[in-house]
Structure 1
Amino acid sequence: MSAEQVRKQQPLQQPNREKQVKVKVHRKKWISTGEKFLYSIASTAVIAASLYMVHFSSSTDKLNRDIQQAEQKIDAQQSQNENLAYQVKELSNPDRILKIAKKNGLSIKNSQVKQAGKVTN
């Protein structure tokens, strides 16, 4: 091979040595920083409102259960009071009182026995 042939082949074998500059492409962000801030505030507000609603609902339910229990106790007490009032009427029957008095040896001078009324102040 001659020198000319070598020179002709040499440029073909060597790649271009030009400087390649890397260009950095700035892509536009999908969500900007301000939007992220607004979204975080809005989501925090929604979560706080949800928690408040759940708390309020549970406290309302607890209050309703307490009211129902109080009403049940009141109904039970009223029925007990009615039963006791009926027993008072039965026990204060004049015939019953006369039988107990005669049984214990008491004599009644006047045959009229009256039921005592309620004492009022």
Structure 2
Amino acid sequence: MSAEKIRKQQPLQQPDRQKQVKVKVHKKKWLSTGEKFLYSITTSVVLAASVFLIHTSAETDAINRDIRSLEQDISKQESQNENLAYQVKELSNPDRILTIAKENGLNIQNAQVKQAGKISQE
């Protein structure tokens, strides 16, 4: 082959070598928009559930404290009622009533003394 033929062939081959195909490289995003949406919804639901749980727990604790204080008030009132019932029994003793009546000048004509709470029909 002659040099001229080689030279003619080379320019034809060189443009092929110089042609470069540009390839677009798509960088993959770390999270897609759908994944971001799902993660945000999930996070919102978890946060809402946590807030609801804490709120419910706080309300339950407050109610329990109220119940305890009411139970203490009830027990105090019951003990006070028992003391007053004992005092009523003590003060309604017939012997005590007779001594007070005699001190105040009451003359008893019948020897029978009946309690005021017990009414008998004769």
Same-fold call, TM cutoff 0.5: yes
Alignment root-mean-square deviation, CA: 2.0
CA change 1:111–1:118 in 2 (3 A) is closer
Task: Confirm whether residue 106 of structure 1 aligns to residue 106 of structure 2.
Answer: yes
Task: Confirm whether residue 55 of structure 1 aligns to residue 55 of structure 2.
Answer: yes
Q: 1:74 and 1:90 mapped to 2: Cα distance? A: 24
Per-residue deviation, 1:114: 1.5
CA change 1:94–1:38 in 2 (3 A) is same
The aligned residue for residue 73 of structure 1 is: 73
Per-residue deviation, 1:25: 4.1
The aligned residue for residue 33 of structure 2 is: 33
Per-residue deviation, 1:23: 7.7
Residue segments in structure 1 that go unaligned for 5+ positions in a row: 1-21
Q: Which amino acid aligns with 1:59?
A: E
The aligned residue for residue 97 of structure 1 is: 97
Residue segments in structure 2 that go unaligned for 5+ positions in a row: 1-21
Q: 1:46 and 1:82 mapped to 2: Cα distance? A: 53
Per-residue deviation, 1:26: 3.0
- SS of equivalent to 1:53: helix
Q: TM-score, normalised by structure 2?
A: 0.74
Alignment of 1:8-19 (within 5 A): none
The aligned residue for residue 11 of structure 1 is: none
Kindly, what percent of the aligned residue pairs are identical? 70
Per-residue deviation, 1:118: 6.0
CA change 1:30–1:111 in 2 (3 A) is same
Q: Which amino acid aligns with 2:103?
A: K
The aligned residue for residue 15 of structure 1 is: none
Q: 1:85 and 1:32 mapped to 2: Cα distance? A: 79
- SS of equivalent to 1:106: coil
Q: TM-score, normalised by structure 1?
A: 0.75
